Chain A
Amino acid sequence: MVSGLITQKLREIVEDAGTRSTIIRSKRKALTALFPYVTLRTKDGEHEMFDVFLRVVRSSERSGLMWFYIEPLLSVLLDERAPVFSKQAAIMASPHVPWWQFENGGHLVQLWAGAYSAVPYTDDVGQSVVDTLLQIASWKSPAITDDMWLWLNKCPDLPPVCSGRYWGSNHAVFKMVRALKDTKTLTSYLLLIWSEWDFLMPRGFDEMCASIREDFSGEEMGRHRTDLIRRLSYVRRELERGLEYIQQYKPELKEENLHRRRDQYKRLQDILLEVDNETAAGPIGESL
């Protein structure tokens, strides 16, 4: 009864785009206190309250919860001996956690790294893991191991508002993925990072331009180039839908930002097509 009222209230908050941010900010202490309970509800497979709760947290970006207070609980949820439902809840919440702010952040990342593989894979889990992985990588956490990057190959759909995708375009992250010398993973990374919803960080963008020439030339890379060119065509088409379309998730975006974004993706596609044209197999771009 009480939890039903709370679930209803959470739904009202998330659906009222006009006042959502203000309400969430003023209620963040209560939302923080609610986190363990919504997690507990998933124990018996009741995910409705947790899902609505996550929508609230997601829509608030980083101001939704007072994660400082939840840090000790995250350690409990991600502990090796913890049940799967609690690991899963922590994994699902992990993209919204400001890991770098925690005093004990390194240890928590290690627990996270040990926990995610214990959770059954779903699209939502994959999305959360990849989103978090890209964020953690952007502050060069030593807890990240090479095998974690294989999750990129699952290519989950990342949501329009996704911190991992933005921070993941950082040159440091790109270098980490490139250093694996695994073209499949590098391609997956680019397919995830390139999106109409986000601008690419300048140094990361420069690295990508260089990488296309160095890593994706040659006949044997044709399949990867095809995938990348298709992705870029899609992103550019979406960007042509105009400012209003992008603003539904990025209300702060201005026309000049949209132009910069279009320029970035056009430049990447041009380079890919040039590389493609230089190969003996002939241009892929013409067939797209």
Chain B
Amino acid sequence: MYYELTTQPTPSSLISACLRDFVSRISEELARIDKPNKNTTRLLTTLSLWETRLEIAKRPQQFDGKLHDAPHRFLEAVERIHSFGPQLADTYLKVLLGCIDVKKGRVMERPGLKQAARAASICLLRALSCVDWVHMADEEVFESYALPPNANFEGLLCHHTMSAIHALLSSRKGCWLDWADYKPDPPEYVLFANALDGVVRARASLVDSKVPRWVLRFALHSLSMSLSQDPPPPASVITACLSIIGVDLGCDILSTSGPISERYADVLRCVDLSDPETVPHWKWFQG
């Protein structure tokens, strides 16, 4: 379900409102935890700072009062954030670590924080595209990442996103991610694909800039879905997958980050626009 806007809000107010909403929800859920762990305390501290920062960023325009579906709303808001800085990656990682527990390598969401973990993980993945991959040692997020190499994410609401983050941040090489059952809702799918595309572009300047094979298999899985009997992925997912492939083939993809409608131009021709499932995500924002 997607929200309707009576007036066109500015992106910053939309983002600000959604983030504040998200933050307050997580804070509420965290406050209900009986025995907070070290990470939960860190998370609460981070969130209060974060909330303050968001208050400062608040714009006069008020967001319409019809918001009610927090996770989707949040994901859609994140889609519009263009100013992800590397420091946010560390922040999101702290949020994420506060939402999960690890027992004998098995990772679980803390009670009541499934959606928060899901949103934080997708935000973290997105923020990783702003990290300086060439100077990884200088980036806090790599230092803060504390999950064991053999971490098992099965059963998590966000297990594909977590697995992707783990593959990127942990030192483990040659990991296997199974995409066969990956069929998320369109907003999450778009965000995930764009985040992966962003990370691939960010890593393109590395000396050994090969795109990880699990990312290419994600592209194969998503593009294959556009030919199967299942609902096809949104057009922007197809664009992101093409971009990922293009980077690996050595195309000058980095120069194509212009207007999003241009990037879609060649994808739209082969997507059935009468099917709402395949309509590019940006159309939803255009109302």
Contact = CB atoms under 8 A, between A and B. Distances in A.
Contacts of A8: 251
A5 B219 contact: no
B263 A2 contact: yes
B208 interface: no
Interface string B189-229: 00000000000000000000001010011011001101111
Contacts of B251: 2, 5-6, 8-9
A76 B242 contact: no
Given A9-B250, A32-B220, A33-B219, A2 B242 contact: yes
B252 interface: yes
A30 B224 contact: no
Contacts of A229: none
Interface residues of A, number: 33
B242 A37 contact: yes
Contacts of A81: 229
A44 B243 contact: no
Contact of A3 (B213, B250, B266): B266
A10 B242 CA distance: 13
A142 B269 CA distance: 41
B220 A1 contact: no
A43 B278 CA distance: 16
A266 interface: no
A73 interface: yes
Contacts of B267: 2-3
Contacts of B128: none
A5 B252 contact: yes
For the complex, would chain A's binding face be called helix, strand, loop or mixed by DSSP majority?
A: helix
Contacts of A72: 224
A37 B228 CA distance: 12
A39 B224 CA distance: 10
Contacts of B265: 1
B266 A36 contact: no
Contacts of B273: none
Given A2-B239, A2-B253, A37-B238, A27 B248 contact: yes
A16 to B, nearest CB: 12
B220 A69 contact: yes
Contacts of B220: 32-33, 35-36, 69-70
A37 to B, nearest CB: 5
Contact of B245 (A4, A33, A69, A73): A33
For the complex, would chain B's binding face be called helix, strand, loop or mixed by DSSP majority?
A: helix
A244 interface: no
B256 interface: yes
B263 A46 contact: no
Contacts of A224: none
Contacts of B184: none
Interface string A1-38: 11111101110000000000000000101111111110
A2 B228 contact: no
B227 A6 contact: no
A87 B217 CA distance: 23
Nearest to B238: A37
Contact of B253 (A5, A29, A31, A32): A5
Interface in A23-81: 27, 29-37, 39-41, 43-44, 46, 69-70, 72-73, 76-77, 81
B262 interface: yes
A36 B226 contact: yes
Nearest to A43: B270
B242 A9 contact: no
Contacts of A76: 224, 227-229
Contacts of B252: 5
Given A30-B216, A44-B269, A44-B270, A5 B246 contact: yes
Given A29-B213, A40-B223, A6 B256 contact: no
Contacts of B243: 2
B241 interface: yes
Point out which of B224, B246, B256 has the most chain A C-beta atoms below 10 A from its C-beta: B224
A33 B239 CA distance: 13
A30 B263 contact: no
A10 B251 CA distance: 10
B221 to A, nearest CB: 9
B242 A6 contact: yes
Contacts of B263: 1-2
Contacts of A5: 246, 251-253, 256
Contacts of A188: none
A86 interface: yes
A69 B180 CA distance: 11
A261 B61 CA distance: 82
Nearest to B262: A1
9 contacts: A2-B243, A3-B267, A27-B249, A30-B248, A31-B249, A33-B244, A36-B220, A39-B227, A44-B270
Interface of A: 1-6, 8-10, 27, 29-37, 39-41, 43-44, 46, 69-70, 72-73, 76-77, 81, 86
Given A36-B223, A40-B226, A69-B217, 8 more contacts: A1-B256, A2-B242, A3-B242, A29-B216, A34-B223, A36-B227, A46-B270, A76-B229
